Structure 1
Amino acid sequence: MTAFDSFPLGKPAFVSDILDRAAYLRCDDAKLMALESHRDTRAYVVYRDSLVLAQEADGPRALLGIDEALKFGANPGTIFLGLRDGAAVFGMGISAPAVESLLPRNDVAVSELRGLAMQGAVPPNQLSAIAMAKSLVNWHQRHGYCANCGTRTAMKEGGWKRDCPNCKAEHFPRTDPVVIMLVTSGDKILLGRQKQFLPGMYSCLAGFVEAAETIEDAVRREIFEESGIRCTDVNYYMTQPWPYPSSLMIGCTARAINEDIVIDRAELEDARWFDRAEATLMLKRQHPDGLAGPHPFAIAHHLVGRWLQIELGSRA
């Protein structure tokens, strides 16, 4: 199975959610404790941007039993993600020393999530739950103390809240909105590249939505700041959860009203206009100069692919 099969147009990573989040169970501590000990309960174990996986003859397995996860060294605190076919699924963290002890073993691996997803090593329909686990585990690791008074906080409601025992402040996980947009001008699209991109890769421009800003204003502002292009006709396409660390990518299109690019070198290494023929070759990984578009894993690929509306073939 290629990346194009795993993530067909309109279906980037992290959007196929097969969990019932069962939020009504989050405040039922007794029920959650019972679910943790049930033989059908499973967990995803997250370490920074990586997953702990059991290595088996037919490939890696991300869903671990609770006892199995604890034997690998996962932290005992669990985050209730929801129910899959009636069975509970939790998220768990793991410490750096525990991960170090796993690295020499042959029966377990600690692998970076992005690479696993892009290679199809984890079924696409599990990625949404994994993204949820990754976002929440990382949030708890970064928000152990009250931002109001500095007191150590406690995990509550199945991991969906932290309470301060001193000032009684309640803290909830946050999601940061990010606009990502395909800019068109007639039969051309604007793509840019950042220094950290793979060689030859170009993608859609993107940026965080700021306080008291609409999505439309954020699209126009980010495009102008990064490329000097003024835009109009902003339209929404779709969203993609993005657990790096916890964002929601808001895919949009916009129409340029000028074509003279002025690159913000602090944000972009390059930005160019591409016609349909060149963009098609980039998505197919067939460009004669080795240029490439975004991977099907990411919403940017689907913005470009929707504009092209082509059959991308079987090459990943």
Structure 2
Amino acid sequence: MNWKARLLKLSGLMPEMDDAGSLAWGTLADAAEDAELVFLGLDEGKACFAAVPPEGDSSPRMANPQLWSLMATLRADDLALYGGARSIVDWHARHRFCAACGGATKIAKGGWQRTCTSCSTEHFPRTDPVTIMLVEHEGRLLLGRGLGWPERAYSALAGFVEPGESIEEAVAREVLEESGIVAKEVGYIASQPWPFPSQLMMGCYAIAENDEITLDTTELADARWFTRDEVAASMNGDADAPMNTPPKQAIAHHLLNWWLEKHA
């Protein structure tokens, strides 16, 4: 029933907020007449939808400080819902034409598919696998600072899994390429969807065979080894800590907590 349906209010890809600081919702009557609607799921029996915006977002996520600020303030459940909705409607906005023949595509299966109107090729939302890894050498942790990041911002190294690679192979390759460090004994810790726009972050841990860093300056601004005390001070927010740690919403933050508890 339409009266039970809710529409997530978006301004482009950014959400509108209500007076309580939560995601704002309207009804299907608020959608444009020709809007493509994506079914997000059911919430207490009410069908939830989001409308596909006119344009997607091809800019790097670090180039959107408004998005980072929003992520720090949203409740965890709202952030998860918004993240999934943003990812799927952004995909639709950027895939209105078929990669096989160039024909126009139309929305299908409640928004979880697009079908070419010319050759009938079916297209599905993508998820990009990314390894993010803690690399340890004799009680110290290798962390890096990305290009364009603030001076004291450090996090775990990360990179996309390439076709034909295992998770373990991707960890070893990315660490070697970015830092010159040989990583071995790769293990899995946890995963996190990161739908900005479409990553699945796979958290890993590895042991380094060497500690001399050879920095790839096309990927990182800096990389260095941090002791347990330095990581702990940073996670505690100490003013004299040597770095700023990743936000609590990011898997890197939880990986650092895991490492600290491992060495407690």
The reply to whether residue 224 of structure 1 matches residue 176 of structure 2 is yes
The reply to whether residue 43 of structure 1 matches residue 4 of structure 2 is no
Q: Secondary structure at the match of 2:15?
A: strand
What do you get for the CA RMSD once the two structures are aligned?
2.1
User: What's the counterpart of residue 227 of structure 2?
Assistant: 275
TM-score by length of 1: 0.75
Q: 1:234 aligns with which of 186, 192, 197?
A: 186
Q: CA-to-partner distance for each residue in 1:85-140, whole Å, 9 max, x for gaps?
A: 221111223448xxxxxxxxxxxxxx944322213xx2211222211111111101
| In structure 2, distance between residues paired with 1:162 and 1:274 | 47
Q: Secondary structure at the match of 1:303?
A: helix
User: What's the counterpart of residue 126 of structure 1?
Assistant: 78
1:189-204 to structure 2, matched below 5 A, reads: 189-204=141-156
**Greater relative contact order (Cα 8 A, min sep 6): structure 1 or 2?**
1
The reply to whether residue 116 of structure 1 matches residue 70 of structure 2 is yes
Tell me by how many angstroms 1:278 deviates. Answer: 0.4
Q: What is the count of residue pairs matched by the alignment?
A: 253
1:74-93 to structure 2, matched below 5 A, reads: 76-93=35-52
Q: 1:64 aligns with which of 2, 5, 25?
A: 25
| In structure 1, distance between residues paired with 2:166 and 2:11 | 34
Q: Which moved more, 1:140-149 or 1:192-201?
A: 192-201
Cα distance 1:118–1:68, how it changes in 2: closer, same or farther (>3 A)? farther
Q: CA-to-partner distance for each residue in 1:63-100, whole Å, 9 max, x for gaps?
A: 41225743xx797321001111221111223448xxxx
Tell me by how many angstroms 1:231 deviates. Answer: 0.8
Tell me by how many angstroms 1:44 deviates. Answer: 2.3
Cα distance 1:48–1:280, how it changes in 2: closer, same or farther (>3 A)? farther
| In structure 2, distance between residues paired with 1:223 and 1:160 | 35
User: What's the counterpart of residue 253 of structure 1?
Assistant: 205
User: What's the counterpart of residue 17 of structure 2?
Assistant: 53
The reply to whether residue 158 of structure 1 matches residue 113 of structure 2 is no
The reply to whether residue 180 of structure 1 matches residue 132 of structure 2 is yes
**What amino acid maps onto 1:81 in structure 2?**
L
**What amino acid maps onto 2:225 in structure 1?**
W
Cα contact 1:45–1:74 (8 A) shared by 2: no
Cα contact 2:39–2:110 (8 A) shared by 1: yes
Cα contact 1:182–1:254 (8 A) shared by 2: yes
Tell me by how many angstroms 1:42 deviates. Answer: 2.1
Tell me by how many angstroms 1:307 deviates. Answer: 0.6
Unaligned runs of 5+ in 2: 56-64
| In structure 1, distance between residues paired with 2:174 and 2:67 | 28
Q: Secondary structure at the match of 2:38?
A: strand
Cα contact 2:131–2:160 (8 A) shared by 1: yes
Cα contact 1:41–1:66 (8 A) shared by 2: yes
Cα distance 1:77–1:66, how it changes in 2: closer, same or farther (>3 A)? farther
| In structure 2, distance between residues paired with 1:85 and 1:269 | 47
Tell me by how many angstroms 1:199 deviates. Answer: 2.9
User: What's the counterpart of residue 59 of structure 2?
Assistant: none
Cα contact 2:5–2:28 (8 A) shared by 1: no
Q: Secondary structure at the match of 1:174?
A: coil
